[in-house]
Structure formats: structure tokens, C-alpha cells
Amino acid sequence: MDRLLTMLGVFDRWYKRKFSDPDALMLLLLILFTAVVLLFWGGMLMPVIVAAVIAYLLDWLVCQLQRMGLQRTLSTAIVMLLFFSITIMALVGLVPVISKQSANLIKEVPAIWAQAQAWLMTLPEKYPTYIQYDAIQKMMENVNQRMVGYGEDIISLSFTSIGNLAALLIYLILVPLMIFFMLKDKAELLLGISRFLPKERRLISQVGLEMNVQIANYIRGKVIEIVIVGTVSVVTFLVLDLRYAILLGVLVGLSVLIPYIGAAVVTIPVAAVALFQFGISTPFWTVMIAYAIIQALDGNLLVPILFSEAVSLHPLYIIVAVLFFGGLWGFWGVFFAIPLATLVKAVVNAWSSPKEIVIPPP
């Protein structure tokens, strides 16, 4: 009984220390409200969230043009025209090539897997003490069954393309309009949102100021990292005469969206294509060494330069954030996993910042 009372006393002192401050309580209520809205209506609000994120990133350019003397509306129009021109040129230049190479690679997957099976079947003869023939055969049967399942999923996915097309039209039409109005009427929109926030929002403002720097630096840095790593990978694979160089290079660039996990996953198609094309020979090892150098330079040189002032999270926290938020919101959860993890860190820091209230002993 005494232990229970002691535990209750500890909890009571913790509660009064953390929630006796109205700012802390308002921060908690805002977090809970936001979490509930995203949990139940996150999918429906995703176009709005995407538009808000893009507008947030483009706002820096709009502000720079305003400092040069241009009006807000004209600055917004120039930035929007520039952004969508670059986007369309990238899509027109890359999408057809990537689509063609993807289709060709899918056609060659059975041949690649057949060659891999033939190589696996030679292992029991080379290493009879460590590898059993039955184990290899059972493993290949399981992989074949999974590949059949993946093929059925791809076929069923093609029948749902009409719904995906409708969603794409929403993004192509509504998102640009929302971005334009969010940029043009930024002051009015922020003023309207502030009216719904409580007056006791010192901690909310503290978290907002910290995240304003963190998220902007992270996303801008991540875009630069994708472009640099993807471009270097494409050029390297082309120089080494690797098939599907553009497709694989783009995949390597996009893999930086998922720290640690992305690089490990993309290694599989790069190694498989190189092995199928060159076999275990000098060109194969050259491709793999070049790929390893790209990953090493990215992790040890490019990332510290781009994110030295943006995000400082332990790798374990990053992996947990990727798994958690990716499970909740798919691609966008993975993309924003690190900013969301940084938000959690900022909230914890803000929560610990108020001066502790001295509770008199009972």
C-alpha cells in the first residue's frame, strides 16, 4: 500500500510539474487534436498537406523576390511558373525513359531469376558441408510462390488505375491552385489560423520556431541530395555501360528518402542487374565498388554538409520514425519521417523548458 501511495505521489508531482503550466496543457491539446485529425482524415487531407508543404518550401523564393521590390502576387506567379516549368521538363525528360526501362527490366526478371536459381543450385556441390540441396530447393519454391503473388498484385493494381487516375487529376489540378493561394494570401491565412489557437501558446510558438528552421533545412537539403546522388549514379552507371542506368540511377537517388533502409534495398536491383549482365567478373565488381563509393560519399560527405544544422537524431530514432510514420501514411509518411521525428524532439525539449514548479511536501 505504501509503495502504491509513493508511486501515486510521484505521478502527482510529475503531473503538476508538467501540466500546471497552461502553455504545456495547450500544447498537449493541440498535439492530440492534430493527431486525431491526421489519423482519421489524413488520407482525405493529403492533397492539402502536399500543397502546404510545397508552398512552405517555395515561400523562401517568393520572399526573396519581394525583397527585390516585386509585389507578392507577381512574385508568387513567377515562382509558380518556374517551379512547374522545371517539374514538367523533368517529367517529360525522365518519365518516358524510366517507364521504358522499367518495362524491359520487368520482362527480364524471369531470366534474371532463372540465372540466380542455376547459380544457387551449384552451391550444395561447392559447399556440401554447409549448404544442403533440400534447403536451397525449398527456399526457391518459397520465392517462386511469392513472385507469383507479386505478379497477381501487379495485375490487380492495373485494374485500379482508374481510381489512381482520378487521384492524379486531383493532384494536378487542385494542388497547384492551393499552392498559389497559400503563397499569395500567406499573411491572411496565418492570421485566420492564429485566431483559432489559444492565447496561452508560448510553447506552441517555441516549437513552431524550432521546426520552421528544421523542416525547411531538411527538405531543401533532401531535395538537393536526391538530385546530386541520382545524377552522379546515372552518369556512373552510363560510363560503366550498365543496363537500365537511368532507372537504377533514379532509384539510387530516391533511396536517400529512407535513410539506411533505402540504400540497402536499392543495392539488390543494382547488384542483380550487374550480375545478370556481367556475371561474376571485373565489370561486376567495378559497378559494385563504384556504387559503394557513391553511398560512402553520400553518407560521410554530402549528408554532413547539407544537414549539419538541420537534424541531429540518433540513427535508431530515424529507423523507428521511418517504420512508424511509413506504416501510418505510406510514401508521405516515409518522406516526412525525419521532420516528424524532429517535431517530437522539439516538443519534448519545449515540454522540459518551463521552470519546474516547487511542490510543497505533503
Could you read off the pLDDT of 51-66 as tens digits, one per residue? 887 888 788 889 889 8
- pLDDT digits 0-9 by tens, 103-151: 788 878 778 777 777 777 777 777 777 777 777 777 777 766 666 555 5
Q: Amino acid identity of 325?
A: F
Specify the pLDDT at position 241. Answer: 92
In this prediction the pTM is 0.65
User: Please, are residues 182 and 193 in contact by the beta-carbon 8 Å criterion?
Assistant: no
What is the spatial distance between Cα 77 and Cα 180, in angstroms, rounded to a whole number?
A: 8
The pLDDT mean for the chain works out to 75
Specify the pLDDT at position 237. Answer: 94
Model confidence band, residue 42 (pLDDT cutoffs 50, 70, 90)? low
Model confidence band, residue 155 (pLDDT cutoffs 50, 70, 90)? very low
What is the spatial distance between Cα 243 and Cα 287, in angstroms, rounded to a whole number?
A: 11
State mean pLDDT over 25-41.
73
Specify the pLDDT at position 166. Answer: 60
What is the spatial distance between Cα 217 and Cα 13, in angstroms, rounded to a whole number?
A: 38
What is the spatial distance between Cα 107 and Cα 104, in angstroms, rounded to a whole number?
A: 5
Share of the chain above pLDDT 90, in %: 13
Q: Taking the alpha carbons of 299, 304, 306, 310 in that order, is the dihedral positive or negative?
A: positive
If one compares 189 and 303, the residue with the highest pLDDT of the two is 189
Given a cut of 80, is residue 204 above it in pLDDT? no
Specify the pLDDT at position 201. Answer: 62
State mean pLDDT over 69-91.
87
Given a cut of 70, is residue 168 above it in pLDDT? no
If one compares 227 and 29, the residue with the highest pLDDT of the two is 227
User: Please, are residues 294 and 229 in contact by the beta-carbon 8 Å criterion?
Assistant: yes
Specify the pLDDT at position 49. Answer: 79
Model confidence band, residue 159 (pLDDT cutoffs 50, 70, 90)? very low
User: Which residues, other chains included, contact 62 with Cβ-Cβ below 8 Å and sequence gap of 6+?
Assistant: 72, 75, 76, 79, 183
At 69 the three-state DSSP class reads coil
Mean pLDDT is lowest, of 1-15, 154-168, 185-199, for: 154-168
Distance of CA 210 to CAs 26, 349, 350, Å? 18, 10, 10
Mean pLDDT is lowest, of 44-48, 70-74, 247-251, for: 44-48
Specify the pLDDT at position 145. Answer: 67
At 77 the three-state DSSP class reads helix
Model confidence band, residue 6 (pLDDT cutoffs 50, 70, 90)? low
C-alpha cell at 265: 534495398
Specify the pLDDT at position 122. Answer: 76
- pLDDT digits 0-9 by tens, 217-265: 777 778 888 889 999 999 999 999 998 899 899 999 988 877 777 888 8
Mean pLDDT is lowest, of 25-29, 238-242, 288-292, for: 25-29
State mean pLDDT over 151-173.
56
State mean pLDDT over 329-353.
70
